[in-house]
């Protein structure tokens, strides 16, 4: 059994730790903070844009440039990695098919491509009604016979909308007290949207008045989500939504349908009597938190030693290897000895890469070689244009070890996730798939399980 230290508790670090622990390694995960998962939409994106919107992400991987982190992994390994993660979390938390993107409404009424989503979101997939039926997404997730009948009725009457085939109609319902879910804007934008399959969407909006905690002036999505852990509150919410919602195939509500209590979405859907989809809000993200808490619980249950609030500041080398990493712990620095290290610290957003006042980019913990070091040349003024700065990171060998001009940096140091160079992950929506696939590559090379 090896002693493996994983650095970082984002999607990459948690996935690597779980995979290593499942393979019988002695794993310590050290992290300074919780990572980006709980700010995320709670979905697993594989590839959303390349540069146009992608509907079949695994096929699209083949056309990515050689520098993209996926290029050295390949579509099959990416699919296997994402499926493995989905199996660990279970179908109550993640569902979908890695070969086909869902197109889910966002909190501004745009459509967002993603591969795996939470079951509570899937009925919002904007592909045509017949695609819904073939895939069985919405009907399969329903338990109430009334909901099934309502959906079947909507399928039986194909219509046209402005000369284009009719797509889904969303009945969007907001909560007056909950900001960041502008139901009118969401419905207005959806109603202007043609779905990727060419069907024309429609939408209407409505509001309910419901306080989660009496007297609270500015409740967050978390306030509502925690209140939903009370079955009676969830039932009150659902009855109000059922009464207010306009006509539509899918009733869309803010993503506040519980954090810890499973089955809130099903309960709400049963009462509403139509397919219900959650639309994630800006952070703090309830679906992101669900994913983070579930993954962390699996990691802990698998026996991983979890040290949070600890910044890794450096390391002790031994020949071409990392002998230990240094933790800035309360009371002074502490060494964690390791046979292998998975470094999964994210990118600029988590402070894993920094730019000093001279515009020099560096990776401060291991001093790893980067694909570029002069930020000045890479910062562009076009807000919506490409931002090459965010493609900067570490180049890796086939095992996921950082390489520079002098070869592999350290024999037993592997990297995973956002630190790897070659993709604007938030723009092409590949960050989640990259995090999961590179974490599994690193873990499998450490355990000798790599193919
Ligand atoms: C604004 C924004 C939006 C994005 N949107 C998307 C999207 O829609 N779809 C998508 O696929 N990707 C998106 N991404 C990319 C996203 O970063 C990845 O999807 C993924 O979450 C990265 O996971 P990670 O584990 O590599 O990094 P992170 O989630 O950033 O986790 C890094 C972890 O390392 C810890 N850490 C860092 N340095 C140290 C240290 N020295 N010592 C100890 N711990 C340390 C941090 O505390 C954290 O726990 C987005 C990124 C940003 C910045």
Residue 64 has pLDDT above 80, yes or no: yes
Is-contact 378 388, C-beta < 8 A?
yes
In a domain, 97, yes or no: no
Residue 136 has pLDDT above 80, yes or no: no
For 34, the token pair is 């919780």
The residues, any chain, with a CB within 8 Å of residue 10's CB and separated by 6 or more, are 35, 36, 37, 344, 346, 350, 417, 418, 435
In a domain, 96, yes or no: no
Q: Which domain holds residue 167?
A: 107-279
Last residue of a domain, one of 249, 279, 309: 279
Give me ligand 1 centre to Cα 327, in Å.
20
Q: Are residues 9 and 82 in the same domain?
A: yes
Last residue of a domain, one of 225, 245, 279: 279
**Mean pLDDT for the stretch of residues 69-88:** 96
Residue 60 has pLDDT above 90, yes or no: yes
**What is the best residue among 49, 417, 431, 434 to mutate for testing ligand 1's pocket, by most ligand atoms within 8 Å of CB?**
431
pLDDT digits (tens, 9 = 90+) for 317-334: 999 999 999 999 888 899
Q: Are residues 441 and 369 in the same domain?
A: yes
Q: Are residues 229 and 298 in the same domain?
A: no
Which residue has the least CA distance to atom 21 on ligand 1?
36
Q: Are residues 164 and 305 in the same domain?
A: no
pLDDT band at 135 (very low <50, low <70, confident <90, very high): very low
pLDDT band at 43 (very low <50, low <70, confident <90, very high): very high
Pairwise CA distance, residues 409 & 201, whole Å: 52
CATH label of the domain that carries residue 310: 3.50.50.60
**Mean pLDDT for the stretch of residues 338-363:** 96
Pairwise CA distance, residues 310 & 112, whole Å: 35
Tell me what percent of the residues of the chain surpass a pLDDT of 90.
Answer: 81
In a domain, 284, yes or no: no
Write down the pLDDT at residue 330.
Answer: 80
Residue 161 has pLDDT above 50, yes or no: yes
Tell me what percent of the residues of the chain surpass a pLDDT of 70.
Answer: 92
Give me ligand 1 centre to Cα 351, in Å.
10
CB of 9 within 6 A of ligand 1: the answer is yes
In a domain, 146, yes or no: yes
pLDDT band at 160 (very low <50, low <70, confident <90, very high): low
pLDDT band at 387 (very low <50, low <70, confident <90, very high): confident
In a domain, 111, yes or no: yes
pLDDT band at 142 (very low <50, low <70, confident <90, very high): very low
Q: Are residues 128 and 258 in the same domain?
A: yes
CB of 112 within 6 A of ligand 1: the answer is no
pLDDT band at 164 (very low <50, low <70, confident <90, very high): confident
Q: Are residues 78 and 115 in the same domain?
A: no
Last residue of a domain, one of 279, 312, 342: 279
Q: Are residues 316 and 191 in the same domain?
A: no
In a domain, 102, yes or no: no
CB of 432 within 6 A of ligand 1: the answer is yes
CB 316: neighbour CB atoms within 10 A?
A: 13
Write down the pLDDT at residue 143.
Answer: 36
User: Percent helix, strand and coil across the chain, each rounded to 5?
Assistant: 35, 25, 40
Q: Are residues 365 and 410 in the same domain?
A: yes
pLDDT band at 165 (very low <50, low <70, confident <90, very high): confident
In a domain, 338, yes or no: yes
Q: Are residues 435 and 374 in the same domain?
A: yes
Q: Are residues 66 and 131 in the same domain?
A: no
Which residue has the least CA distance to atom 12 on ligand 1?
431
Pairwise CA distance, residues 160 & 246, whole Å: 20
Tell me if the bond preceding 255 is cis, omega within 30° of 0. no
Of 68, 164, 53, nearest in space to 100 by CA: 53
Give me ligand 1 centre to Cα 187, in Å.
31
Q: What is the mean pLDDT of the chain?
A: 91
Residue 437 has pLDDT above 70, yes or no: yes
Q: What is the DSSP string of 326-393?
A: EEEETTEEEEEE-SEEEE---SGGGTSSEE-TT-BEE-TTT----S--BGGGT--S-TTS--GGGG-S
Give me ligand 1 centre to Cα 303, in Å.
23
pLDDT digits (tens, 9 = 90+) for 248-277: 999 999 999 999 898 999 999 999 999 999
- The residue that leads in pLDDT, 138 or 104, is 104
Please count the structural domains in the chain: 2
Pairwise CA distance, residues 408 & 345, whole Å: 19
Which residue has the least CA distance to atom 53 on ligand 1?
349
Residue 186 has pLDDT above 90, yes or no: yes
Pairwise CA distance, residues 91 & 290, whole Å: 13
Task: Please give the number of the atom of ligand 1 that sits closest to the Cα of 33.
Answer: 47
Give me ligand 1 centre to Cα 226, in Å.
25
In a domain, 285, yes or no: no
Q: Are residues 81 and 223 in the same domain?
A: no
Q: Are residues 75 and 167 in the same domain?
A: no
Task: Please give the number of the atom of ligand 1 that sits closest to the Cα of 13.
Answer: 25
């Amino acid at each position: 059994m090896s002693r493996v230290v994983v650095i970082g508790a984002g999607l990459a670090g948690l996935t690597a730790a779980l995979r290593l622990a499942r393979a019988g390694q002695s794993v310590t995960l050290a992290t300074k903070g919780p990572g980006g998962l709980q700010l995320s939409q709670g979905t697993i994106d594989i590839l959303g844009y390349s540069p146009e919107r992608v509907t079949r992400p695994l096929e699209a991987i083949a056309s990515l440039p050689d520098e993209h982190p996926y290029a050295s992994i390949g579509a099959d390994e990416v699919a296997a990695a994402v499926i493995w993660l989905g199996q660990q979390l279970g179908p109550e938390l993640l569902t979908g098919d890695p070969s086909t993107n869902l197109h889910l409404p966002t909190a501004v009424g745009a459509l967002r491509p993603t591969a795996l989503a939470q079951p509570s979101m899937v009925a919002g997939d904007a592909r045509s009604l017949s695609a819904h039926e073939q895939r069985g997404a919405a009907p399969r997730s329903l338990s109430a016979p009334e909901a099934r009948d309502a959906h079947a009725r909507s399928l039986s009457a194909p219509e046209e909308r402005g000369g284009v085939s009719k797509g889904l109609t969303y009945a969007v319902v907001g909560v007056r007290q909950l900001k960041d879910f502008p139901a009118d804007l969401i419905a207005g934008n959806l109603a202007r949207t043609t779905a990727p399959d060419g069907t024309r969407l429609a939408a209407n909006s409505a509001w309910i008045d419901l306080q989660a905690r009496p007297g609270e002036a500015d409740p967050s999505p978390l306030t509502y989500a925690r209140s939903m852990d009370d079955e009676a509150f969830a039932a009150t919410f659902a009855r109000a939504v059922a009464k207010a919602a306009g006509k539509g195939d899918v009733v869309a509500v803010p993503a506040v349908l519980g954090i810890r209590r499973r089955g809130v979405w099903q309960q709400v859907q049963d009462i509403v009597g139509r397919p219900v989809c959650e639309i994630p809000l800006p952070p703090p993200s309830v679906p992101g938190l669900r994913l983070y808490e579930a993954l962390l619980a699996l990691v802990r249950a698998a026996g991983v030693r979890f040290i949070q609030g600890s910044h890794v500041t450096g390391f002790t080398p031994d020949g071409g290897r990392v002998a230990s990493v240094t933790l800035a712990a309360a009371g002074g620095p502490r060494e964690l000895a390791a046979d292998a290290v998975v470094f999964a610290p994210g990118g600029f957003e988590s402070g894993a890469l920094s730019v000093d006042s001279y515009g020099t980019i560096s990776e401060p913990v291991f001093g790893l070689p980067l694909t570029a070091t002069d930020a000045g040349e890479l910062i562009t003024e076009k807000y919506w244009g490409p931002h090459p700065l965010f493609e900067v990171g570490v180049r890796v060998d086939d095992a996921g070890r950082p390489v520079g001009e002098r070869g592999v940096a350290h024999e037993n140091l592997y990297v995973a996730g956002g630190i790897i160079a070659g993709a604007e992950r938030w723009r092409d929506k590949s960050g989640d798939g990259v995090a999961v696939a590179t974490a599994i590559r690193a873990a499998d090379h450490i355990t000798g399980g790599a193919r």
